[in-house]
Every structure is written in structure tokens, then in C-alpha cells.
């Protein structure tokens, strides 16, 4: 039963990884930016949640209607002022710019909030749990994080596949030059994509901060797990990202069951193994595949 429990806990943990990773996947898929500050932006979300919930004296969930629009606006601002400009100077510039942003965020957080680990007030939800059978206890908080991840991914998938905005995003991901040519206004489109990516990162940060603790330098670690989830799942596939996150979560918890010291190492080994056997990830989208075909042709 401990193994079943480990798998269930691992799957739920994977949802959190997927929630962080979906913004990374979206920005890379559409704008070809690997945002190295993505994890730090998630941690910023947690700090913003801390500030708001302390100031208002309410559980962090209540502050989400303020926090998420603020994060969206921050994403739009970053895209317009930094990422968009960096993109015009080749592939290396965005890497350097986002790396610099990451270093700046970590040090600014350290200055403003010290390096003490913090936690968020999750209200009654943080302690509630329910039982499956007699031996497995599932935390409502983990369950909520997992369901939120599923809801966010489904929502994004629906937006991408059903709306005119989504059509334009996919067209731009396919071929930026032609997207411009057929009249798509790329700048506002990129700004909304960046806004959504940062908002989902901040939401993930709130869950990170409620489930565990966070400190100014945690962003790098968060980024690595998110990045691995994206690569395992296959670039450009949101459902692949969820599966990738779950694979990471299950590996981490199951190996942790055997020996806690090897849990994180096992996750990185899984990532390396997938990279070696299926470099495109388990669920590389048709889009990525057809682009490769196009490049070959």
C-alpha cells in the first residue's frame, strides 16, 4: 500500500510541476524564448502572495483576484520592455537577458525579504485531507494544486485550439515571418502570451509557498524541474507537459520511498534517459514534427 500511496502522491506532485512548466512551454513554443527567470517569477508570485495576504489578513487564496492580474501585467511589461527587444538581437540575447533578470530577482528578493524561508497562509485548506480506503491519506491542498493544474492546462488548450487568439498564437509559433505577413499583430500577441505565462508561474508559486516554504534563491530549482517536465513531455505539447510533470513527481516520490537521498537525483536521471532515447520528448506535437519535416524538405 505504501507504493500505491507513493504513486498517488507523486502524480499529485507532478501536477504542480506541470503548472509551473506550462508557462515555460508556452513562451518557448510561441516566442522561442527559454525564460531562465521563469522559476524566479514563480517565487516572486509567492512573495507577492505573502505581502498581500499579510496586509489584508486573509488566506492567500483570497488575494488571487489581485495577484493574478498583477502577474499578468508584469508579464506584459517584461515582454514589451525586455524580452521583445532581446528577441530582435538573435537567439542568444534572450538567454542572457532572462539569466540577468533571474540573478536580479534573486538578489532583490534577498535584499527586500532576507533569505529566511517563508510560508504562505493557506487557510483551512492547508490542513484538510481525505482518505482513500483505510491507509491512504490525500491532502486537499495537493489535490487542489493538481486539479488547478489540470484546469489551467485544459483552459489553455481550449484557448489555443478554439479561439481566434489561439489560432494566431499557433500560426505565429509555426512561422513568425509569415504570421506578420498575413496581418497578425505579433507584439500584442506576444505580450498576452507572456502575461499568461507569468500569471500561471505566479499561481504555481502560490502553491509552492503554501505546500512548502520558499526563499529568494528557490527559483533556479523550480526552473530546473519545470524545464525537465517540458522536455520529457515534448516541446509544444501541453498535455505532454502534464505527463512529464507526473513522471517527475512519481519518480521523485517512489524513489524517495526507498531512499530520500536519491529522490532528486533519480528525477534528473529520468530526464537524461528521456533525452537520450527520445530527444523530442514523449509527446512531441505534430507541429514540432512537421516543422522538422519542413526544415528537412
In the 8-state DSSP scheme, what is residue 119?
-
Distance in Å, CB of 93 to another protein, minimum: 18
Region of residue 284 (left: phi > 0; alpha: psi -120 to 50; beta: else): beta
CB of 296 to another protein, least distance (A): 12
Q: How far apart are the first and last CA of the chain?
A: 52
| Span interacting with another protein, options 59-67, 71-79, 103-111, 179-187, rule CB under 8 A | 179-187
DSSP 52-98: HHHHHTS-GGGGHHHHHHHHHHHHHHHIIIIIHHHHTTTTHHHHHHH
Name the residue nearer to another protein (CB basis): 56 or 289.
289
The nearest distance, CB 53 to another protein, in angstroms, is 41
Residues contacting another protein: total by CB under 8 A: 24
Q: At closest approach, how far in Å is the CB of 177 from another protein? A: 7
Choice between 150 and 159, CB closer to another protein: 159
Whole-number Å distance between alpha carbons of 163 and 38 = 26
Q: Shortest distance, CB of residue 291 to another protein, whole angstroms?
A: 7
Question: In Å, how far are 81, 86, 157, 252, 289 from 92, measured between CA atoms?
Answer: 17, 9, 29, 33, 24
- Let me know: does 129 contact 137? Beta carbons within 8 Å: yes
Which of 1, 182, 276, 296 lies at the binding interface for another protein (CB under 8 A)? 182
To another protein, the closest distance from the beta carbon of 168 in angstroms equals: 6
Sort 247 into a burial class: Cβ within 10 Å, 0-12 / 13-18 / 19+. Answer: buried
User: CA 101 to CA 44: how far, in whole Å?
Assistant: 12
Establish if 85 lies at the interface with another protein (CB under 8 A). Answer: no
Rounded Cα distance between 171 and 165, Å, is: 10
- Nearest distance from C-beta of residue 158 to another protein, angstroms: 15
Coil, strand or helix at 130: strand
- Comparison of 117 and 294: residue with beta carbon closer to another protein: 294
Please pick, from the candidates 137, 185, 221, 269, the single residue that binds another protein as defined by CB under 8 A: 185
Nearer to another protein, 103 or 175 (CB): 175
- Considering the complex, what minimum distance in angstroms separates the CB of residue 141 from another protein? 37
Return the residue of 22, 179, 206, 231 that touches another protein, per CB under 8 A. Answer: 179
Nearer to another protein, 182 or 277 (CB): 182
Binding to another protein (CB under 8 A): which residues in 116-175?
A: 164, 167-168, 170-171, 173-175
CA–CA separation, 130 and 36 (whole Å): 37
* Subset of 237-296 contacting another protein (CB under 8 A): 285-287, 290-291, 293-294
Cβ neighbours of residue 19 closer than 8 Å, sequence gap 6 or more: 145, 148, 149, 152, 153, 200, 203, 204, 207, 245
- Catalog residues that contact another protein under the rule CB under 8 A: 164, 167-168, 170-171, 173-175, 177-185, 285-287, 290-291, 293-294
Amino acid at each position: 500500500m505504501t507504493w500505491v500511496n507513493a504513486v498517488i502522491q507523486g502524480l499529485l506532485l507532478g501536477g504542480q510541476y506541470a503548472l509551473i512548466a506550462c508557462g515555460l512551454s508556452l513562451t518557448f513554443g510561441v516566442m522561442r524564448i527559454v525564460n531562465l527567470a521563469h522559476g524566479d517569477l514563480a517565487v516572486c508570485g509567492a512573495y507577492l502572495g505573502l505581502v498581500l495576504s499579510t496586509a489584508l489578513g486573509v488566506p492567500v487564496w483570497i488575494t488571487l483576484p489581485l495577484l493574478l492580474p498583477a502577474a499578468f501585467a508584469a508579464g506584459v511589461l517584461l515582454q514589451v520592455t525586455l524580452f521583445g527587444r532581446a528577441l530582435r538581437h538573435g537567439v542568444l540575447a534572450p538567454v542572457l537577458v532572462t539569466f540577468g533578470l533571474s540573478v536580479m530577482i534573486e538578489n532583490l528578493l534577498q535584499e527586500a525579504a532576507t533569505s529566511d524561508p517563508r510560508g504562505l497562509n493557506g487557510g483551512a485548506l492547508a490542513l484538510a485531507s481525505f482518505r482513500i480506503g483505510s491507509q491512504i491519506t490525500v491532502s486537499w491542498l495537493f489535490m487542489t494544486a493538481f486539479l488547478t493544474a489540470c484546469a489551467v492546462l485544459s483552459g489553455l488548450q481550449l484557448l489555443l485550439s478554439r479561439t481566434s487568439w489561439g489560432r494566431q498564437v499557433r500560426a505565429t509559433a509555426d512561422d513568425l515571418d509569415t504570421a506578420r505577413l498575413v496581418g497578425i499583430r505579433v507584439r500584442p500577441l506576444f505580450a498576452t502570451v507572456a502575461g499568461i505565462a507569468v500569471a500561471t508561474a505566479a499561481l504555481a508559486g502560490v502553491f509552492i509557498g503554501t505546500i512548502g516554504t520558499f526563499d529568494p534563491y528557490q527559483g533556479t530549482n523550480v526552473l530546473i524541474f519545470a524545464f525537465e517536465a517540458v522536455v520529457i513531455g515534448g516541446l509544444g505539447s501541453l498535455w505532454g507537459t502534464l505527463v512529464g510533470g507526473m513522471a517527475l513527481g512519481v519518480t521523485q516520490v517512489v524513489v524517495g520511498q526507498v531512499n530520500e537521498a536519491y529522490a532528486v537525483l533519480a528525477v534528473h536521471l529520468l530526464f537524461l534517459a528521456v533525452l537520450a532515447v527520445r530527444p523530442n520528448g514523449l509527446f512531441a506535437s505534430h507541429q514540432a514534427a512537421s516543422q522538422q519535416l519542413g526544415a528537412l524538405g
